[in-house]
Amino acid sequence: MRLNDVKPQKGSKKRKKRVARGISAGQGASAGLGMRGQKSRSGSGTRPGFEGGQQPLYRRLPKLKGFPIVNQKIYTTINVEKLASLPANTEVTLTSLKAAGILTAVKGPLKVLGNGELSIPLKVQAAAFTGSARSKIEAAGGSCEVL
């Protein structure tokens, strides 16, 4: 076998389509682009992402900082350090904290956070507890009840 014997595989080479070269060429007249409209005109069509003047997807989606949480739960939060001022064995609820003046505004169900220290036993009733808050309340001899 010599270099002059080397030929491409049968069917691997295909002629380029000769568009807009008359009727007999097969792609004459409109060059396969259809009759009329923006995409049949010379020059480029539309840029990628163009939706015909409608607000495009990349502008409809929210930017930066991620997407908002749909139906986000809003809690009234309180730290364990605020509960330390209550007397021992007190039953702590949202209404009792409001009555004691520890909470001023109620935005939703009570959630206890674990910032600070607690040395007295309390019976805390709340909608949610963080892991550190639960461990600190139970270490002080209190109890946590999820409502």
- Mean pLDDT of all residues belonging to the chain: 88
- Which residue has tokens 């989606």? 61
Question: What residues contact residue 84 under an 8 Å CB cut-off, 6+ apart?
Answer: 116, 117, 118, 119, 120
The answer to whether the beta carbons of residues 13 and 19 sit under 8 Å apart is: no
- Enter the pTM of the model: 0.53
Looking at residue 110, its pLDDT comes to 92
pLDDT in tens, 79-109: 999 888 888 888 989 988 998 888 888 889 9
Residue ranges covered by each domain of the chain? 76-146
- Least Cα distance to 82 among 54, 60, 104, 64 occurs for 104
Looking at residue 27, its pLDDT comes to 85
Task: Give the pLDDT band of residue 1 (cuts 50, 70, 90).
Answer: confident
Average pLDDT over residues 23-38: 85
Return the CATH number of the domain spanning residue range 76-146: 3.100.10.10
